Amino acid sequence: MSPRGTHLVVGSGPSAAAVALALSEHPGQQVTVLDLGGRLEEERRAARDRLASADPADWQPRDLDVVTARAPRSDRLTAVPQKRTFGSAYPFRDLGQLRGISGTPGTNLHVASSAYGGFSTVWGAQVMPFSRSTFDRWPVSWEDMEPHYRAVLGEVPLAGEDDDLAELFPLLRPTSGLPPLGPRAAAVLRRYERHRDALRARGVTVGRARLAFRARECVRCGLCMSGCPYQLIYSAAQTMDRARARPGVRVLDGLLVERIGQECGQAVASCRDVRTGQRSEFRADRLFVGAGGLGTTRLVLGSLAAPPRRLELAESVQYTVPLLSVRPVADPRGPGVRDFTLNQFNVLLHFDDEGYTTSQIHCYPYNPAISDALPGPLRRRWAAPVARESLRRLSVGFGYLPSWASPPITVVSRPGASGGLPELELGRDESAERPELLGRALRRLVRAAPRLDLWPLLTHVTLSGAGKSYHFGGAFPHRNGPAATTATDIWGRLPYWDRVHLVDGSVLPSVPSTTFTLTVMANAHRIAGGVLAGRAPAASESESATH
């Protein structure tokens, strides 16, 4: 049995939820979660709940209009629109966590979420571990991580298949299958099976998506990308709700943590109530910081006596690639078409024999946002026949490159006003050339296209702005060896503090091109479990560890 302890957790997103899960499973632990706690607006929540209580055939159009409202179209063809959930941008709402963040043109500035559940309230639900070869280069091994992957997958529902992707990325736990795939995804997978040996010999693997949702209950209503009314898609808020129902766990909303540190052998978090402006301080035996890759980085920079003024975040950069098929399917907007609209299949391009340097492309079927993204002339009434034929052939791929083949996000820090969080300027080296691996990935897609009938539209490939992938971190990476000012030990501790643990993307040594959130959760669960097991001892209570 773990000794009794008191713990503070900053945030409620995936990493914070994994920590709360690990701590709350042990009797005698007192856990206080400090969170901004943004929620969906009442009107939209009521409309969602009315839809959830009815069969899709009985849904009211006015409720559908409320929960499917999309972000305004952008005039920039290179801009990926901001995703909404139930018609709301509340996961991106600034409750103080974004104030003072600026960036160069094209940079995504919505890099820290105020939502209860964090960005998992609006994510694409892809879950896949990192490859074993990734951990060969980390101070944390696959053997260290595997039991925590399994523990997290005991909480997070997994829908997927045991296919060729499992050779590098094992399923780790039993899964449910995916709902029936759309006709284009099914056709691509059939062609892959027909040409499997030739494609694999050229470094191309295709497999079904791995998704965190309760697929057996899916009714294929087509609203996945705007928010599942039945809440079948996993959100960290679900785990946090289960944790807070246990003895010893409380969640405090409306709090922006502005400083962290240690005093007299205790971890300390200083907060501001964003509703009243009142400041308060919390103390505990340990502090786990899960405010997200950028949110935690900003909090640490504002808490150190002599922070670095400039650092870099590793990012698995995102690119978008329209994919055309010569053989059309039925009009995806036709009457009676029922599909689930999450990522349906993945194309993995690997550039070595160990699954280390890869580019993974998540391929999506039709959803209404694709119509919005058609070029202006194709959205006009007279062009409807051309638009229809385009949509019968079009899939959209969101591809990723590993951080070691991607330009980093630069972060310049300046002191904030009135003792608040520091100001940050984000960007990307404007002199940096387009990533070389992107060109190699596109050439490989072109060579695979005749066999898959999946042709990349090279004229419309776009590289997303800095931070738009949301797969970033590594400001304070885990490292072995002598303490460094911007590196953490394997328990997420900087050399200044032995009771403060960073647990989110900010501590990842690298960010592969494969999915991100499952590893963030497993690593946070590992850190919390190690603390409870006594593998991350702190100095004695009589000593003071200050910066």
Give pLDDT tens digits for 66-105: 999 877 665 444 456 788 999 999 999 999 999 999 999 9
Characterise 231 by phi-psi region: left (phi > 0), alpha (psi -120 to 50), beta (else): left
358-406, pLDDT tens digit by residue?
999 999 988 877 877 777 777 777 878 888 888 999 999 999 999 999 9
SS3 content of the chain, % helix, strand, coil (to 5): 30, 20, 50
Whole-number Å distance between alpha carbons of 29 and 458: 55
For residue 230, the model assigns a pLDDT of 96
For residue 75, the model assigns a pLDDT of 46
Q: How far is CA 97 from the centre of its chain?
A: 18
> Is 522 a residue whose pLDDT tops 80?
yes
Residue type, 522: A
CB 43 within 8 A of CB 62: no
Q: Label residues 311-346 b or e (16+ Cβ within 10 Å = b).
A: bebbbbbbbbbbbebeebbeebeeeeeebbbbbbbb
Provide the 10 A C-beta neighbour count for residue 382: 7
CB 260 within 8 A of CB 500: yes
DSSP sequence for 360-400: EEEEE---HHHHHHS-GGGGSGGGHHHHHHHHTTEEEEEEE
> Is 178 a residue whose pLDDT tops 50?
yes
Vertex 93, ends 91 and 96: CA angle to 5°?
120
Range 1-40+88-100+111-156+234-308+473-547: architecture per CATH: 3-Layer(bba) Sandwich (3.50)
128-168, pLDDT tens digit by residue?
999 999 999 999 999 999 999 999 999 999 999 999 999 99
203-246, pLDDT tens digit by residue?
999 999 999 999 999 999 999 999 999 999 999 999 999 999 99
Query: How are strands ordered across the β-sheet holding 409-414?
Result: 101-103, 423-427, 409-414, 310-315, 472-473
Q: What are the two backbone dihedrals, phi and then psi, of residue 339, each rounded to the nearest 5 degrees?
A: -150, 155
For residue 2, the model assigns a pLDDT of 65
Q: How far is CA 544 from CA 63, 196, 200, 331, 474, in A?
A: 57, 61, 57, 67, 28
Q: What percent of the chain has pLDDT over 70?
A: 96
For residue 365, the model assigns a pLDDT of 87
Whole-number Å distance between alpha carbons of 7 and 415: 28
The pLDDT of 61-70, averaged and rounded, is 92
Mean pLDDT value across the chain: 92
For residue 544, the model assigns a pLDDT of 39
Whole-number Å distance between alpha carbons of 65 and 73: 17
303-312, pLDDT tens digit by residue?
999 999 999 9
pTM for the whole thing?
Answer: 0.95
The pLDDT of 540-547, averaged and rounded, is 41
Q: Which residues pair with 159 in a beta bridge?
A: 176, 211
DSSP sequence for 46-97: HHHHHHHTS-GGG--HHHHHHHT--PPPPS-TTPPPPP-BTTB-GGG--SSS
468-516, pLDDT tens digit by residue?
999 999 999 999 876 678 999 999 999 999 999 999 999 999 999 999 9
